[in-house]
Structure 1
Amino acid sequence: MIKVNAIGQTCPIPVIMTKNALKEITEGSIEVTIDNKISKENIEKFSKEMGFSFSTREENGVFFILINKTPSETFPYNNTSNIENNTVIIIASDKMGDGETSLGETLMKGFIYTLTEMEVLPQAILFYNRGVFLTASNETTIKDLKLLEERGVEILSCGACLNFYHLENTISVGSITNMYNIIDKQMKATKVIRP
C-alpha cells in the first residue's frame, strides 16, 4: 500500500498527490491522510469520478482515505492525445477572480500549476493585459509554464501589453504575439477557457 501524507497541504495539491500515487500502481491501494475537510471531499469526488472504490475514516480531525484500484480501472485520458487540438486558455490578469488581490494571485498560481498536472492540455495559452506578468516576472508561474511549453503547449504573450508594462525585455517563457494572432487563435478554437 502506498501512503500519501497530505497533511497541511491545501487544494489542489492533495488531489494531485493522490492522482500521482494512483498512476504509480496498476493494482492495489493507497491511503491518503489529510487534515482539511474540503481537500477530503475533493479527493473523494476525484476517486468517484475515476471509478475507484474508497472508504474514509476520521480520527481526531484527521481523515484517512483508502482508495482501491484494480487492473481494469484506468485514467480516462490514457487513450487520448495529450494536446486538445482546439482548446485555448486566455489569461488577462495576474490574478484569478475579482476579490482579494492576494487570494486572486494565489488562485492563479494554483491554476497554472494544476495545468501542469493535467493529462490533456490546451493547444495554447494566450496572455494579455496584466496576464503578461505571469510570463515575464513571476518565477513560480514561469517555471510551470516552461513545463507546459516542453509538453507542447504554445505560450503566447501580447507584445503591446509587454511594451505597456515595460516587460518586453524580461519575457522568460513562450513567444511574443499580436492582437491579430490572439483573435485568430480564439476564432479557430472549439473551446476557449478563461479562468
Structure 2
Amino acid sequence: MITVNAIGDACPLPVVKTKKALENLEAPDMVEVFVDNETAVKNVTKFVSQTGKKAVSKKIEEGRYQILIDCTGNSEEKDGSKEIQPEKSGGCAENTGNAGGTVVVISSDRMGEGKDELGKVLMKGFLFALTQLDTLPEKILFYNGGAQLTCEGSDVLKDLEFMQEQKVEILTCGTCLDYYGLKEKLKVGSVTNMYTIVETMAEAGKIIKP
C-alpha cells in the first residue's frame, strides 16, 4: 500500500501528489490518499477516473478523508465507501495536431473576478499546476497587470524560473513594465512588444488564458 498525505495541502497539490504517486509505482499496488476536504476528494477522484483507474472514498472523521485507488487490476468496493464513477471531462490535452505550440497568456496578477486575495491565490495555484503538466506550453505571455508576476517581489518566480529552465519562453510586455515602473525589476524571461505578442497569439496552435 502506497500512502499519499495531502492533509493541509491547497489545490492543486493533492492532485499533483497523487499523479506522482501513480507515475512512480513500480508494481501493481493500492494507493491511498488522505485529504481534509470534500473538494480535494472530488478533484483527486476525478483525476483518477481520467487515468482509467477506479477509486473509492470515505470520510474517516471530520476533516479527514481517505481515497483508495486500485492499481492492481482488482477493484472491490469497501464498507462505508462509495465508488467514484468516471466523469466526462476535456482534461488537459497534450499539444498534438496543432499548427503551432501552446501559448499561455496572462493579463493580470490574479485569476478570475471577485475577491482580489482569492484571485492571487488562484493565480499562484494555476502557475504551479502549469509546471506539473506532462507537456509544458511553448511560451507564456505577460501583459498589463500580469507583468508584475515576472518581476522582483513576485511569489511565483520559482515556478516561472523552473519552466524557463525547461525551455518555456517567457515574454513580458515592455510597455506594461514601463507603465508600472518595473522595467529594472524584471527577474525572469525577456521583454517583448505588442507586435510579437499579437504574432505569437496568431501563430499559436492553442491559447490558454486563466
Query: What is the TM-score when the length of structure 1 is the normalising length?
Result: 0.90
* Conservation of the 8 A alpha-carbon contact between 1:10 and 1:36: no
Contact 1:55 1:65 in 2 (8 A): yes
Residue 52 in structure 1 maps to residue 67 in structure 2: no
**TM-score, normalised via structure 2 length:** 0.83
Name the structure with the higher strand share. Answer: 1
The one-letter code of the counterpart of 1:112 is L
CA deviation vs aligned residue, 1:64-120 (integer Å, no higher than 9, x gap): 11112259xxxx99x989xx9521111000011121110011110110011011111
Contact 1:91/1:126, CA 8 A, preserved across alignment: yes
Residue of structure 1 in register with 2:123 after alignment: 108
* Contact 1:95–1:106 (Cα < 8 Å) also in 2: yes
Matched residue SS, 2:184: coil
* Counterpart for residue 17 of structure 1: 17
Query: For 1:28-177, what aligned pairs fall within 5 Å after superposition?
Result: 28-61=29-62, 62-70=64-72, 85-177=100-192
Say whether residues 1:185 and 2:187 are aligned partners. no
Mean Cα deviation higher: 1-10 or 112-121: 1-10
Query: Which amino acid counterpart does residue 131 of structure 2 have in structure 1?
Result: T
Q: Against the structure 1 CA distance between its residues 149 and 125, is the aligned structure 2 distance closer, same or farther, given a 3 Å change threshold? A: same
> Which structure has the larger Rg over C-alpha atoms?
2
Corresponding residue pairs, total: 188
Using the TM superposition, give the Cα deviation of residue 36 of structure 1 relative to its aligned residue in structure 2, in angstroms: 0.4
Give the SS at the match of 1:122.
Answer: coil
2:76 matched to which residue of 1? none
1:70–1:85: structure 2 CA closer, same or farther, 3 Å change rule?
farther
The alpha-carbon distance between structure 1 residues 119 and 70, as it changes in their structure 2 partners (threshold 3 A), is farther
Amino acid at match of 2:51: M
Residue in 1 aligned with 2:2?
2
| Alpha-carbon spacing, 1:85–1:146, altered in 2? closer, same or farther (3 Å) | farther
With over 3 angstroms needed to count, the CA separation of the structure-2 counterparts of 1:121 and 1:168, relative to structure 1, is same
Give the 3-state SS of the residue equivalent to 2:185 in structure 1: coil
Structure 1 gaps of 5+ residues are none
> Alignment RMSD, CA only?
2.1
Query: Alignment partner of 2:123: what SS?
Result: helix
Structure 2 alignment gaps of length 5 or more? 74-90
Q: Which amino acid aligns with 1:54?
A: A
For 1:80 and 1:187, how far apart are their aligned partners in 2? Answer: 16
Instruction: Tell me if structure 2 keeps the 8 A contact 1:93–1:129.
Output: yes
Overall identity of the aligned pairs, in %: 43
Query: 1:173 deviation in Å?
Result: 0.5
1:3: Cα distance to partner?
Answer: 0.7
CA distance in 1, matches of 2:208, 2:127: 13
Question: In 2, Cα distance between the equivalents of 1:57 and 1:105?
Answer: 32
